[in-house]
Structure formats: structure tokens, C-alpha cells
Amino acid sequence: MSYFDFVEKVKYEGPDTKNPFAFRYYDPDRVILGKKMSEHLPFAMAWWHNLCATGTDMFGPGTTDKSFGAVPGTMEHAKAKVDAGFEFMQKLGIKYFCFHDVDLVPEADDINETNRRLDEISDYILEKMKGTDIKCLWGTANLFSNPRYMNGAGSSNSADVFCFAAAQIKKALDLTVKLGGKGYVFWGGREGYESLLNTDVKFELENIATLMHMAVEYGRKIGFKGDFYIEPKPKEPMKHQYDFDAATAIAFLRQYGLDKDFKLNIEANHATLAGHTFQHDLRIAAINGMLGSIDANEGDLFLGWDTDEFPYNVYETTMCMYEVLKAGGLTGGFNFDAKTRRSSYTFEDMFHAFILGMDAFALGLIKAAAIIEDGTIDSFIKERYSSYETGIGKKIRNREVTLEELAAYAAELKKPELPGSGRLEYLRSVINRILFS
Ligand code: XUL
Ligand code: CO
């Protein structure tokens, strides 16, 4: 049974092809800087967007039929989604998937029944994985949709709700290990607050950290060797989210002694909602040794919410890949946490979306490698800080001088020369030369 019989395997046909079901840039075996494209770009399908989301928004119901021939809310439907997902991934050459517990099965009223369904579906997925090279990139627990999480999960004012969050995390870790997942994600869905009139921020942060410590302890006990990730996001659904951006999440992890087990999963649209560029959050994670994985999407800068679009802006994907190459790659991968527009409601659109995203990242990789090989940017930055290579600058770097000695140095100099020009317009033209040649 085929769900997507309008397309065979999507193949690389080169930049000139007009075939809507072919890659123009993603050529999995092409070697870039000593590594295959497919190794640089471990792409993943997000179970929730691709197999579950129908396009529902605040003003209307879904537009896409994702029943896959079964009745939604049944285990038959859960299995049909597995079948459709594997056909989809195989046709696109996608090697990984990411999931929330409740993406896989309909949640029951009793958590014991939900867990039984999760056992059944994970057996089915495991069976399906055999004979393919498809693996799990990361798993997570949805601790934000069910009404019990209205005040958060780890940050909930209710200890009983905290226990349900713990139970879901335990099960999601079991599933992640069972499916060979490389990572486990905490996106703090409703871990935040609306008003200090009813919120004890310190108390909530401590509880979130406690829950994460318990997750690490349990995960390591059952043999999970991968990374835990925090996925920062500044707002939506909460007004103030605790994991605002990369820097905030890193400070939290260090404060509570979680930094050895955790890295970050940086999402493009979350970075821009925080008022940063995607590249900024990637860099902050990377220089702290915490760039783990990426949720590959793109926001609409005219809108103030999380639009989760498929990445198409090659300038952005180039700068992302520049950061990833400089950081020596990811331990995780590129999860398309992205959805087709509500008006792109056909299965064909799902393929177009992934082809767009995969090609945008492949082209970004090619161009980022060209920026590095060209060397203009690297040598400009090196030169820009060259006053620290000798003399007083070198002493500062080596911490060999005191504040008094620097003051005496300044007094002798009387007035410094202006620092060298930043040459931003020139550097932007260098990037354009590389992008469009
Ligand atoms: C929400 C979001 C989530 C996480 C996983 O903005 O990005 O889908 O990636 O919970
Ligand atoms: Co995400």
C-alpha cells in the first residue's frame, strides 16, 4: 500500500532540473570538505508536523487529511502514520525521525493505557526500522498540550502534575532508548509564566532542574548514552519562557550542574523570536561547547509568532552551515520542525516542502564551505584582532598585566589611534560574490 504513489524515490538531478520531485543541490554522496553531504546533513522528519498536523489554526480546522485511510484516534491510525512516515522518509532519503510520545499514539484517560499503546506502537516502529537505515534522532515528551500542563510541567504549582511529567519523561526515555535515539529533548513548552503576582520564579526553576536531574539519572541507568538537549524559545505559549535563548539556557544548565549531560537544540524560528539571528544562537551554543542539534525551520520576520516554515532563505542556511562547519559538525542532526502552509494542503506539498528544505541546507553547506575555502572572512577577522598578537595586547591575552599597568600604558600613549574599519559593506559583498558565483 502506497500513500504517496505520485512520486518514486526523489533523486538528485542537478541545479538545472525542472522536475518538482528532484533535488537540485542535495546530492547525498557528494563530498564537501572531506565528508559526504549526507553525513554533514543528518536530516530528520518531525513526526508531529508531518504525520499529525492538519493545518488547524485559531480561526479554523485542519485543511489536510492525515487519516491515511484509518480512523483518527485509533491504533490502526497510529500504525498507518508509521507506514506513511516510513514511505515518506524512504522516498526522500531521510535517515532520522523525531517524536513526542503523544505524536505516536492517541493519549488515553489513564496513563497506564497510554503507555501500553506506546509499547505496541514502538514494537511496530522497531519492526519497520529493520531492513532500513532509518533511525531515531531524538525523542521527547509532550508536556504542554494536555490541560494538566496549563501551568507548566516541571514548573507546575501542582506536585501531582509534576509526577505526571516525570512519568511521561520516563516513558519517553524508554522509547528513545528502545528506538536507538541519539538525543532526548526538553522544549519547555509551558515552562514559564505570565505574571509575578502568582508565580515563584526561583521555586519553579529549581523544580525544573530537579526534574532534569532525575531524567539524566534515569536515562543513564537504562543505558542512554546520547545527549540531553534544551531547546530554547523566548515566548509562545508562555509570555516569559524560562529557556529564553541559548545564553539563558546555558546559564541555567551551569547553575544547576546539568551542563555535562546537556547540549542545546537550536531552532531558527525560536532564535529570531528572541530578537537574535539564527546564527547568533548557534554561535553562543558553539563557543560554549553546547551546539548539539538543530530544529531546521524559518520564521516570518513580519510576524511575531512561531510560523515554523520550511527553510528557504539560503543566506540563513549558509550562515547556519558556516557555524556548524566551524563547530566541527553536530552530535545531533537537522530536524525539520516545520510545517507546510495551511493552504498547501496536499501530500505533494509535503514533498515539495522537504525538497525545498533539504536543498536550501545543501546549498547552504556548499556555500559555507566556499566561504571557508575562500578565507577572506577568516583572515579579515584574524587581522581585526591582531593588536592582541604582540606587545601590550599579547600581555592582556596572557593575563600578564594589571589594571594599573594598562593605565600607565594609556597615560604614556596619551591618545590611541582609532581601531581599524569594520568593513562590513565590503564583507557583505564578499559573501554575495561567493553566494552568487
Ligand atoms: C515548539 C517546538 C517543539 C519542540 C519539541 O515551538 O519547537 O515542537 O521542537 O517539543
Ligand atoms: Co522545535
187 lines ligand 1 (CB under 6 A): yes
190 lines ligand 1 (CB under 6 A): no
**In one letter, which amino acid is 153?**
A
- Calculated CA dihedral for residues 120, 124, 125, 131, nearest 10 degrees: 150
3-state secondary structure of 418: coil
Nearest CA-CA partner of 252 in 184, 330, 244: 244
3-state secondary structure of 348: helix
Helices (H) and strands (E) in the chain, counts: 16, 14
Nearest CA-CA partner of 49 in 114, 1, 97, 105: 97
Distance (Å) from CA 326 to ligand 1 centroid: 26
**Alpha carbon of 411 to those of 372, 386, 402, 419: distances in Å?**
41, 22, 14, 18
Where in 307-358 does DSSP place strands (E)? 334-336
DSSP state of 311: P
Nearest ligand 1 atom to the CA of 142 is 10
Residues labelled catalytic = 100, 103
CA of 305, nearest ligand number: 1
**Alpha carbon of 390 to those of 192, 386, 395, 419: distances in Å?**
48, 8, 8, 16
Pair 153, 162: CB distance under 8 Å: yes
CA of 140, nearest ligand number: 1
309 lines ligand 1 (CB under 6 A): no
Minimal-distance CA residue to ligand 1 atom 4: 187
> Homologous superfamily of 28-373 in CATH?
Divalent-metal-dependent TIM barrel enzymes (3.20.20.150)
231 lines ligand 1 (CB under 6 A): yes
Contacts 24+ apart (CB under 8 A), 12-17: none
Of the CA atoms within 13 Å of residue 149, those in its CB half-sphere come to: 21
Distance (Å) from CA 337 to ligand 2 centroid: 5
Distance (Å) from CA 231 to ligand 2 centroid: 7
Per residue in 346-382, pLDDT tens?
Answer: 999 999 999 999 999 999 999 999 999 999 999 999 9
Query: Among 136, 187, 233, 334, which is best to mutate for testing ligand 1, by the most ligand atoms less than 8 A from CB?
Result: 187
CA distance 178 to 181: 8
Minimal-distance CA residue to ligand 1 atom 2: 187
Minimal-distance CA residue to ligand 1 atom 7: 337
Pair 191, 142: CB distance under 8 Å: no
Nearest ligand 1 atom to the CA of 187 is 10
Q: Hunting for cell 509570555 — which residue is that?
A: 239
CA 30 from centre of chain:
24
Nearest ligand 1 atom to the CA of 49 is 8
pLDDT at 218: 99
CA distance 406 to 412: 10
Pair 111, 117: CB distance under 8 Å: no
306 lines ligand 1 (CB under 6 A): yes
Distance (Å) from CA 187 to ligand 1 centroid: 6
**Alpha helix positions (H), 222-267:** 246-255
Where in 196-345 does DSSP place strands (E)? 227-230, 240-241, 262-267, 291-295, 334-336
Per residue in 285-302, pLDDT tens?
Answer: 999 999 999 999 999 999
171 lines ligand 1 (CB under 6 A): no
Pair 115, 173: CB distance under 8 Å: no
Query: Among 51, 96, 101, 140, which is best to mutate for testing ligand 1, by the most ligand atoms less than 8 A from CB?
Result: 140
140 lines ligand 1 (CB under 6 A): yes
Minimal-distance CA residue to ligand 1 atom 3: 187
Omega within 30 of 0 (cis) for the link into 20: no
> Where exactly are the structural domains of the chain?
28-373, 377-436
pLDDT tens, per residue, the chain with 437 residues: 899 999 999 999 999 999 999 999 999 999 999 999 999 999 999 999 999 999 999 999 999 999 999 999 999 999 999 999 999 999 999 999 999 999 999 999 999 999 999 999 999 999 999 999 999 999 999 999 999 999 999 999 999 999 999 999 999 999 999 999 999 999 999 999 999 999 999 999 999 999 999 999 999 999 999 999 999 999 999 999 999 999 999 999 999 999 999 999 999 999 999 999 999 999 999 999 999 999 999 999 999 999 999 999 999 999 999 999 999 999 999 999 999 999 999 999 999 999 999 999 999 999 999 999 999 999 999 999 999 999 999 999 999 999 999 999 999 999 999 999 999 999 999 999 999 98
Distance (Å) from CA 123 to ligand 2 centroid: 26
CA of 295, nearest ligand number: 2
Query: Among 244, 295, 339, which is best to mutate for testing ligand 1, by the most ligand atoms less than 8 A from CB?
Result: 295
pTM across the whole model: 0.98
